[in-house]
Structure 1
Amino acid sequence: MAEARRPRAIDLYSGIGGWSLGLRLAGIEVVASYERWGPANETNFKNNHHQAQTVDIRRLSFADLPDGIDIVVGSPPCTQFSFSNRGGNGDLEDGLEDIVTFLGIVDHLKPKVWAMENVPRVAPIITKELESGGRLHAFSHLDVQTHILNLEEFGLPQRRRRCVAGNFDMERLRAYASRLERLTLGDVVVALGQDPVCDPLYGLRIPKAQLVDHDPEPALNPEELRINRANKTAHTVYNAMPFPDRMERAVRTITATCTRVSRESIVIAPPETPDCVRRLTIRERASLQGFPITFQFYGATYAQKLRMVGNAVPPAFTYLMGHVFQGTDAEALPPLASHAEHLTAPAPPAVLTPPDRPGSVFPPTRSFRFAIQSLQLKSGVRFELRNRFADGQTEWSVDFYFGTSKNIIALQMDHALRTRLVMAIPARLRREVETALAGVSTYVEAADIENMQRVWTHKGVGGTRPFMLLDELDQAGKGLVEVLQSEPEVSRAVVDAAITARFGDDRPAVGLAKLGRNAPVIAAGLLIGSAANGALRTHHLRTTGRSPKTKSH
């Protein structure tokens, strides 16, 4: 009896072959894949051993597509749709061009089943554009269903939320979830530190000496630690997240680009060196993305490999999709580890790319903007120390923001406001408050403010680092909050005096109730900020002979 023909698939916008690998392990023949980035195509070809064409898919002719295709998969670029790209202001029209191209190929080939992966934001866009008059309405007959999935539920040790659209059996995919082991970030980090290394997802073993792309980056230095901690635990706008990342749960989304001090960067205190916080290695990222430890990344630089891994669709997930396409029952689903013997490293090996060294070159206008932690509330209500630049001069100030994400209100603080606010405080408290404010003014006046930007950009020495000033303001804020905590009426009077000074009778419609509920913190911040800004302005006048060009809020 002739052997049954394996299902035939093509992979569009294939990247490094995350779809292709998963389908291949599931027993599907990937006939060809199409991707415009050459290094990604090389990686796909050498690992998956099928035709990988370097081509702009928007210009791909239908006549060049293979016949007899049962399955079409792919991951059109998510850059224009992602909220992490220019704050979510990507070119949606341009992004839709790739969706149109993908669906056009599906419509032409008429496969039995198809699936397209992208960021969650794409789901409502597809739904809207399928309506009459929309860019995708011509494809409404394709039975397009969109699903928002957390890939952690499907065996990936990563909380990666994605939109997967298509005409596949979603209920069959969900049936697989209960049969899959849940792994954590710690499981992956520990497994890759053993010798021999046992792949945490695929079960294959190799000597540790054969594991590549696993050189750890240098640990974060004290400044990077401080910035990273602040970005995650005391961000000026967003909610707090753990620092370092928790090892006992699945990791946050692995991204294609991030710096050593970005909020998105995942940092760990590994078991072997718990006192040193570092970023993940390329291999750790790849395992968390569902790639076997033998998969090789043919990037010319460390940054290219980070991009390859972060942009990939996880093959541990696409393996499940491959079985969904073929109608495999949950009870008959083979585990990933059953394919361990077939997962060998391709030859020749990829170029070794050691981690980049920590950057030490910063522009003269390197920005500093951090919240004063003792004076910060959730939902973006905060006092922050920041710098600004005008006519080659650096100006430092404390800013206050409140309101909503759609209506952020700034309130200017200066010596005049300090005088007005102190007058709102009864005589029995005034001396204690004035003493606290005098301490802030004295510290700022004695600080080496004129060299603070040079120290921050690592271009010179100085007596005061920006974080030293931030810490002084934080301590002053804690002390003054303690003074005002038992005086809610006085605190509300101080806040009311500041709002009246700024807005008069034309008060903002949002945000004031929250200020009232947290009056001791807000009053302390207004007093501390006004005292600091008055002293900073005096400093600027003394060193430059002119008033600041930019106004502190």
Structure 2
Amino acid sequence: MPNALKNFRAIDLYSGVGGWSLGLRLAGIDVIASYERWGLANETNFKNNQHQAQTVDIRRLDLSELPPNVDIIVGSPPCTQFSYSNRGGNGDLADGLQDIIKFLSIVDHIKPKLWAMENVPRVAKVIEHELKEGGKLERFKHLNIATKVINMEDFGLPQRRKRCIAGNIDFKLLESYGAYLPKRTLGEVIVALSEENILDPIYGIQINKNELRDHVVEDVLSAEEVRINRAGKICHPVYNSMAFPDPLNRSVRTITATCTRVSRESIVIEPPLSPNNLRRLTIRERAALQGFPVNFQFYGETYGQKIKMVGNAVPPAFSYYIAQAMLNRKASEVPSLTSFSKRLTSPHPLSQSAKPEKPGIRYPKNRTFRLAIPSLRLKSGVRFELGNSFIGEEPRWRTAFFFGTSKSIHSLELNNDALSFLLSRLSPITNAAILEEISSLTDQLKSVDFCNLQRVWNHSGPSGTHPFSLLDTLSKAGASMISRLEEREPAPSDLVSELIRAQYKDDAASLPGLTKLSKNAHLILAGVLVCATANNEIENRAKTIGLQPIISTHM
């Protein structure tokens, strides 16, 4: 490295395991100190990056304790309050801003030559808004804060990770590096880590498989787990579809700090060497996708802690290029990450591989179920769904219909009144065909063991009808009902409007999303007919065992 670079001294705030620090270190910048409140993350940072890593609550950090002669400040204030995945995007923004204010206060106090802050994309608009007159960041306007939402996939990372970068760096120079970098895929990482002699796909580091830590492959997903994951991704009650399993021939979705066996966010793969066996990623696979060298060690105590370490980190394969932009290097002059393969040695002692948690075999009695009926689902949350609720400890299964917008959700009552309303308005020929479908569905529902449905779902009772079987029955009935209506009712949109007016009276005209319902009238009518039939059968079965009926709120 040129001697001039030795003069660049940096500190890393909210440093986590050192993703910023490693990238800057590889670029020749001297990270003299980092600050993080999580002790295990600091241990990981210190052992891998060999610099002072202080365990401290940065909100309470006294500015006088910061080192002198700092040229560069980087950091990643916690993103939890800003993330849309946190309580549907309803995090405590005022609390989250406290960390951004502290970061900018340190920048304002030290006045470094260069600085950069990383956070979720939403923060770009938050900063823009709060810099205005009267905003909570107005006093930092003199810092000339620039923001840019960047997809790290464009910088050789095998991950579609979008993040807001705020600072005073040359973003045009940073973006120019992308033209020199390859596009990497999830499959490249999975295959590379499955070899006996492993070649790091980003850094070119070569190690033997027995030296690899945290690459413990957990049990494959059970049939039930596969079904829940598939439904959550392909047929989610609210969100639009995504691929399942995750395709290996492109970059992966964002690596997160949490990962359960059954969630929409979990990345599920079908390994090339083990087809038909779906599983989650190992910690090491996640780390490699996050741009960490294969010999970077994570010193967490549990599997969950290590997943959090990886998911919360700034990918060093990206921070390296920010560092190069800070050093004002032209794209053609930036060394490739593979040029550091000999220098990136493992810290000692090596970490102990964390063991994955065992798949759940016990579930609470009130385990919830809520899945859209596949044939009766439209995009943007308009759907018929099957779910359970509880009156005290008593489970009640029921179908429901939801429409509108995320901020104004509405429903229709799916009961005998709705069924009679539609049947009285369909043509006689259509009516006969529909009654035939209803009769067939009713016969199928009579074989459903509704009494033990919840116990089958929480794995505490005898074998019987699984909720998925009921869901499939309703989906098939929905598809058949749609076909019948399309054959005999060319334009039933007026009937949908009548049904909504019957239930919502004078409020019907102001409801959102009515145009979408009219355009998909065959599906909406089919859903009401199928689900009202199902709810009637469920209510009749409940009466036979003395349960109170569910009271309708419309009609």
| 1:99–1:40 Cα change, 3 Å | same
Aligned residues: 553
After superposition, give the CA deviation of every residue in 1:370-409 in whole Å (9 maximum; x if it has no partner). Answer: 1111111112211101111012211111101112222221
Tell me the amino acid that sits aligned with residue 260 of structure 1. Answer: R
Report whether the alignment pairs 1:479 with 2:501: no
Q: Could you tell me how far apart the structure 2 residues matched to 1:538 and 1:371 are?
A: 23
Q: CA deviation at 1:33?
A: 0.2
| 1:187–1:448 Cα change, 3 Å | same
Q: Could you tell me how far apart the structure 2 residues matched to 1:81 and 1:545 are?
A: 44
Q: What residue number does 1:87 align with?
A: 88
- Partner of 1:431, secondary structure, is helix
Candidates 520, 539, 542, aligned match of 1:540? 542
Q: What residue number does 1:515 align with?
A: 517
Q: What residue number does 1:530 align with?
A: 532
Q: CA deviation at 1:549?
A: 6.3
- Partner of 1:434, secondary structure, is helix
After superposition, give the CA deviation of every residue in 1:482-521 in whole Å (9 maximum; x if it has no partner). Answer: 1111233463354244223212354243322222211111
Q: CA deviation at 1:6?
A: 3.5
Tell me the amino acid that sits aligned with residue 58 of structure 1. Answer: R
- Kindly report which structure 2 residues correspond to 1:134-149, keeping only aligned pairs within 5 A, or say none: 134-149=135-150
Q: CA deviation at 1:427?
A: 1.6
Report whether the alignment pairs 1:442 with 2:449: no
Q: What residue number does 1:237 align with?
A: 238
Moved more, 28-37 or 402-411: 402-411
Moved more, 32-41 or 351-360: 351-360
Q: Could you tell me how far apart the structure 1 residues matched to 2:246 and 2:69 are?
A: 47
Tell me the amino acid that sits aligned with residue 158 of structure 1. Answer: Q
**Residue pair 2:259, 2:307 contacting (<8 A) in 1 also:** no
**Residue pair 1:218, 1:278 contacting (<8 A) in 2 also:** yes
Tell me the amino acid that sits aligned with residue 360 of structure 1. Answer: I
Report whether the alignment pairs 1:318 with 2:308: no
| 1:545–1:30 Cα change, 3 Å | closer
Tell me the amino acid that sits aligned with residue 238 of structure 1. Answer: Y
Q: Could you tell me how far apart the structure 1 residues matched to 2:277 and 2:344 are?
A: 33
Q: What residue number does 1:298 align with?
A: 299
**Residue pair 1:445, 1:536 contacting (<8 A) in 2 also:** no
**Residue pair 1:492, 1:523 contacting (<8 A) in 2 also:** no
- Partner of 2:6, secondary structure, is coil
Q: Could you tell me how far apart the structure 2 residues matched to 1:512 and 1:124 are?
A: 31
Q: Could you tell me how far apart the structure 2 residues matched to 1:43 and 1:161 are?
A: 25
Tell me the amino acid that sits aligned with residue 84 of structure 1. Answer: S
Q: What residue number does 2:129 align with?
A: 128
Q: Could you tell me how far apart the structure 2 residues matched to 1:542 and 1:129 are?
A: 60
Tell me the amino acid that sits aligned with residue 469 of structure 2. Answer: M
Q: CA deviation at 1:284?
A: 0.6
After superposition, give the CA deviation of every residue in 1:58-83 in whole Å (9 maximum; x if it has no partner). Answer: 11112211111110000000011111
Q: Could you tell me how far apart the structure 2 residues matched to 1:341 and 1:425 are?
A: 76
Percent pairwise identity: 52
- Kindly report which structure 2 residues correspond to 1:170-249, keeping only aligned pairs within 5 A, or say none: 170-249=171-250
- Partner of 2:385, secondary structure, is strand
Tell me the amino acid that sits aligned with residue 424 of structure 1. Answer: R
Q: What residue number does 1:307 align with?
A: 308
Q: What residue number does 2:382 align with?
A: 381
- Partner of 2:158, secondary structure, is coil
- Partner of 1:477, secondary structure, is helix
Q: What residue number does 2:413 align with?
A: 412
- Partner of 2:187, secondary structure, is helix
Q: Could you tell me how far apart the structure 2 residues matched to 1:262 and 1:551 are?
A: 32
Tell me the amino acid that sits aligned with residue 537 of structure 1. Answer: E
Q: CA deviation at 1:96?
A: 0.8
**Residue pair 1:397, 1:552 contacting (<8 A) in 2 also:** no
CA RMSD of aligned residues (A): 1.7
Q: What residue number does 1:278 align with?
A: 279
Q: Could you tell me how far apart the structure 2 residues matched to 1:472 and 1:411 are?
A: 21
**Residue pair 2:442, 2:533 contacting (<8 A) in 1 also:** yes
Q: Could you tell me how far apart the structure 2 residues matched to 1:96 and 1:116 are?
A: 13
* Runs of 4+ off more than 4 Å: 1-4, 549-553
**Residue pair 1:7, 1:29 contacting (<8 A) in 2 also:** yes
Q: TM-score, normalised by structure 2?
A: 0.97
Tell me the amino acid that sits aligned with residue 314 of structure 2. Answer: V
Tell me the amino acid that sits aligned with residue 81 of structure 1. Answer: F
- Partner of 1:375, secondary structure, is strand
